[in-house]
C-alpha cells in the first residue's frame, strides 16, 4: 500500500498539495507544514507531482 509522507522541514505550507488531493487527506498544520492523514490517503501521487517544494513523497508502506 502506498502512502504520501511530507518532509516538514522542506514544506513551505503553500497548500497546493491539500488543494490537489482528491481525497482531502492533506491539511496545513497551523500555517507551518502539510500533514497527511494516512488513513484517508490512497497513495495516488497527485500531491507529490503538485508540490513545488518537493517535500511530499509517495512511499510503499508494506513494512510500516
What CATH number is attached to the domain comprising 34? 3.30.70.20
Please list the alpha-helical segments (H only) found in 10-60. Answer: 16-20, 46-50
For the chain, how many residues are written?
Answer: 64
- pTM higher than 0.95, yes or no? no
Q: Which domain holds residue 20?
A: 2-60
Please list the alpha-helical segments (H only) found in the chain. Answer: 16-20, 46-50
Q: What is the mean pLDDT of each run of 10 residues along the chain (64 residues)?
A: 94 97 97 96 96 95 56
The answer to whether 35 and 11 are in contact (CB under 8 A) is no
Q: CB neighbours (10 Å) of residue 31?
A: 7
Number of domains observed in the structure of the chain: 1
Per-residue pLDDT at 62 = 61
Amino acid at each position: 500500500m502506498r502512502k504520501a509522507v511530507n518532509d516538514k522541514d522542506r514544506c513551505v505550507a503553500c497548500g497546493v498539495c491539500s488543494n490537489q488531493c482528491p481525497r482531502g487527506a492533506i491539511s496545513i498544520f497551523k500555517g507551518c507544514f502539510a500533514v497527511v492523514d494516512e488513513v484517508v490517503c490512497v497513495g495516488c501521487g497527485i500531491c507529490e507531482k503538485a508540490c513545488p517544494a518537493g517535500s511530499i513523497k509517495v512511499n510503499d508502506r508494506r513494512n510500516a
